[in-house]
Structure formats: structure tokens, C-alpha cells
Amino acid sequence: MSSFIIEGGLKLKGEIEPQGAKNEALQILCAVLLSKEKIIINNVPDIVDINILIDLLKDLGVKIVKLSESSYSFTSDQINLDYLTSDEFKLKGTKIRGSIMIVGPLLARFGKGFIPRPGGDKIGRRRLDTHFIGFQKLGADFEYDSKEQFYRVTTKGLKGTYMLLDEASVTGTANIVMTAVMAEGTTTIYNAACEPYLQQLCKMLNSMGANIKGIGSNLLVIEGVTKLGGCEHTILPDMIEIGSFIGLAAMTQSEITIKNVKYNELGIIPRVFQKLGIKMELRGDDLYIPSQDSYEIESFIDGSILTISDSPWPGFTPDLLSIILVVATQAKGSVLIHQKMFESRLFFTDKLIDMGAQIILCDPHRATVIGLNRTSPLKATRMTSPDIRAGVSLLIAALSANGTSTIDNINQIDRGYQNIDKRLIALGANIKRVN
């Protein structure tokens, strides 16, 4: 198991460019299965989860050519559907949660899709009901083999329909959209997720010949088409990485410029960090974070304690709440962090408390952070990364702490962040990777 050894307390300086968005890439790469024509994808992040999915597509028979460091071409003209029932697929498909999104495209184009129970982060229950109920409404038959933990979806013909999703699931909406684009007639999806990742997927599908209206809203209307063509698509920069770098700059009193952030796609993310007192300046499409000796948490107009909570887009993404929590530990003032969408994401606070942070874990969903205003810096310690986002939060904490920290199980960080150690070392961080 690999670990990071981090010498904390150093100020960083320089420019850093965010990688392509992991969550968008997972959807976009699955969409290549919808057409037999060549599709070029740019700004693909070089991270574990994405590379596993690319390998999975290759095993399925997709012809993949690496055009440059972050660009690939995909041609899905000879798909081996027998692979879907192989033991190898059953093993590979469990490694990443994003593998669930190959089902929709396969169902739309070939009339059947199989998937083992997907893996991913241990951050609480992440239901798959939305996906399969959506498939059934479009005319698919669903079967679950509880013994093998294997899902089978088949259809003799997909028909457009109206559906109201029981939750605005991002991957669920993406899967249903990719199925509906080739269903006969009109599909209306209400309470659809409308994250930028999903907007990007819809724009890509339209450029392939799909007919999707209402992009960016929670009401999508899709006119089915019989086939889709090729296209070229560029993935957005990862908003979670951008938020992580903002938090890193504040915690380490660093002067950092985050390059090419696609600011208009960040929604309320910059504003939430500003509520913690973090200054930033937009320079063109670069986000400049100046070095700050201290930052003060805003309170509500009536003087009550600030609450920061997650909610579906355009609300604040749950992936950044752990970053917000860490950053708040050295702010001036107090904040209540309310993690509504997952019940296990706040358990990493124990490690921050060990480092000297003042946090009251109220229940699995809420934590009150009493900011120390740098009067008592965090202490270095040894810790284990429980999931991707908590792992980076602990990395930020370690970089700001006095002394040498060790983070174990960093393969969790590698799943979502491309060469994070090398990129931070370029800013002046002291991080060693050991196996």
C-alpha cells in the first residue's frame, strides 16, 4: 500500500492547471458506445478510475487510440457483447462505480446490458434504483442475480415515455438520457440532474445527432433517433480540483494561480469559499488566490452561525464539503457543515481532531467547526485516506500542519487526482511517495 510522507508548514507559490473533470469523463467515455463512428475526447484525466474504464471499453472491443497526453479516439464498430458475461468483466466492473453507465448505451444500441454490482467510495448508500426504474419505464426488462450480484437489462424495443425521477441522480440521469436518445418517440425526464457534467454529456450527444431540449434545466425532452454519428468533445476542468486548490491556498497561506478554470461553469463554488473569508480574483479565465495571514467566516445577516450544506446542482456539490470543513479549522469564526447527501463522509473528522482541530461531530450528517484562526496550528500525524475527497482534505491538512505527516492508502487519492504529488511539488510542497 502506497503512502505520502508530507513535510507541512511550507508556503506554496506558482501556477497549477486543473485536470479534466473525472465525473464528466466517466459519463462521456460510456457515451462512445452509442455510435460506431469515431469519437475524439480531449482533456481526459490520467487517473485510476478513468484508466480502469478505458481498459474496460478496450476489453469490450472499442478501438482506442491515444492521440496525445490527454486526447483519445474511440471507435465502437465491433463490440464483443459476450465479454459482458465473462468472469473478467464481473471482476473489472466492480472496481469503479462509473461502470454502471455503460448499461444505458449498450441497452440503447444492442438491446441488452449487463453489469456487476459497482464499487467505488465507501461513503454511504448510493442507490441504483433510479437507473433501473428509468430503464424499465423505457421498456426494458430488469433482472438481478443476488447470488452473483449481477444486473441484467434487456429489451425488444425501447419506447419514449414521461418519467419523474425519485431523485435527481447525476449518474442515473446520464444513464437514462443515453438510453432515451435512441428510444422510439419522445421521452420527458422531470427532476433530472442538471450538473455541468450532464449538460456537457447532452451537448455531446446533440453534436452526435441526438435531439435533447432543456439542457441545463431539470426538465429534459428527448426525441429519439435511430442512430448517432461521431464527434469531437472537450471535457471541462474538474471543479472539485479547483475547489481543492482554493482550500489548499488558504490553509497554507499560499499565493496560487489556478489556470483555465472555466469560471462560468463553477456555479456557487467560489462564493462558498468567499463565505469562509478567502479572497480570490478572476484574471481572464484564471483564478488568483493571494496569500492571506487569516480569513474570517461570515455569519448570516441576523448574526446566527453560518451553515454550509450540499444539494443537487445548482447547489453546492457534496464533493467539496470535506475540503470546506478542513479549511474552516484554521479560519476565524465557526461554521456548521451539513452533509445531506451521504451519511459516511464526515467520519474522517476524527483524524482532524487528532491533529488538534476543534470539531464537534453532531451526527453522521453534521459537524460544527470552531475555527482556530491559526492560533493553534494543526499537528502532524499518521492517517489513512478513507475516500477520494477526504483523502485530499487530509493532504491539505497535512500540508498546513507543523511537522511530518504520513497518509496511507493513497490509491484512494490517485483514483481522482492526477499526479497530485508531482503537481504540488512544483508549487514548493515537500511530498514523498513511498510504496
Instruction: Find the mean pLDDT for residues 359-381.
Output: 93
265 has a pLDDT exceeding 50: yes
Cβ atoms 337, 366 nearer than 8 A:
yes
DSSP annotation of 81 reads G
pLDDT attached to residue 201: 98
Neighbours of 51 (CB within 10 A): 15
3-state secondary structure 171-193: HHHHHHHHHHCCCECEEEEECCC
The string of DSSP letters for 88-138 reads HHHHHTTS-GGGGGGHHHHHHHHSEEEEEPP----SS----HHHHHHHHHT
Q: What domains sit in the chain, N to C, each tagged with a CATH number?
A: 3-19+237-434 (3.65.10.10), 22-234 (3.65.10.10)
d(CA 47, CA 227) in angstroms, rounded, equals 31
- From the candidates 46, 49, 77, 121, give the one annotated as an active-site residue: 121
pLDDT attached to residue 32: 98
Q: Spell out the residues 6+ positions from residue 358 whose beta carbon is closer than 8 angstroms to its own.
A: 329, 369, 370, 371, 372
**pTM higher than 0.75 for the full model?**
yes
pLDDT attached to residue 124: 39
345 has a pLDDT exceeding 80: no
pLDDT attached to residue 100: 86
pLDDT attached to residue 119: 52
d(CA 353, CA 332) in angstroms, rounded, equals 17
> Strand order in 141-145's β-sheet?
112-116, 150-154, 141-145
d(CA 296, CA 277) in angstroms, rounded, equals 5
Question: How far apart, in Å, are the Cα atoms of 159 and each of 137, 208, 219?
Answer: 8, 20, 18
pLDDT attached to residue 249: 97
pLDDT attached to residue 406: 96
Angle at 240 between CA 348 and CA 15, to 5 degrees: 115
pLDDT attached to residue 98: 72
- Does residue 166 have an active-site annotation? no
Measured torsion, CA atoms of residues 214, 173, 222, 179, in degrees rounded to the nearest 10 = 160
The string of DSSP letters for 344-371 reads STTTTHHHHHHTT-EEEEEETTEEEEE-
Q: Which amino acid, one-letter code, is at 394?
A: L
Closest CA to 329 of 314, 301, 343, 348: 348
pLDDT attached to residue 367: 95
| pLDDT tens readout for residues 384-423 | 988 888 899 999 999 999 999 999 999 889 888 999 999 9
Phi first, then psi, for residue 418 (nearest 5°) are -80, 120
Q: Is the dihedral of CA 51, 345, 308, 429 positive or negative?
A: negative
427 has a pLDDT exceeding 70: yes
Coil, helix or strand for 425? helix
Residue for grid cell 464499487 = 119
| pLDDT tens readout for residues 26-60 | 999 999 999 999 999 999 999 988 999 999 999 99
pLDDT attached to residue 235: 98
Q: How large is the angle between the packed helices 22-31 and 103-110, nearest 10 degrees?
A: 20
Phi first, then psi, for residue 263 (nearest 5°) are -55, -40
| DSSP helix, strand, coil percent of the chain (3-state; round to 5) | 35, 25, 40
Instruction: Find the mean pLDDT for residues 327-331.
Output: 96
d(CA 381, CA 391) in angstroms, rounded, equals 14
pLDDT attached to residue 342: 74
| pLDDT tens readout for residues 110-146 | 999 888 776 544 433 446 788 889 999 999 998 887 7
**By percentage, how much of the chain surpasses pLDDT 70?**
97
| pLDDT tens readout for residues 84-118 | 888 888 777 777 777 889 999 999 999 998 887 76
DSSP element (H, E) containing 271: helix 269-275
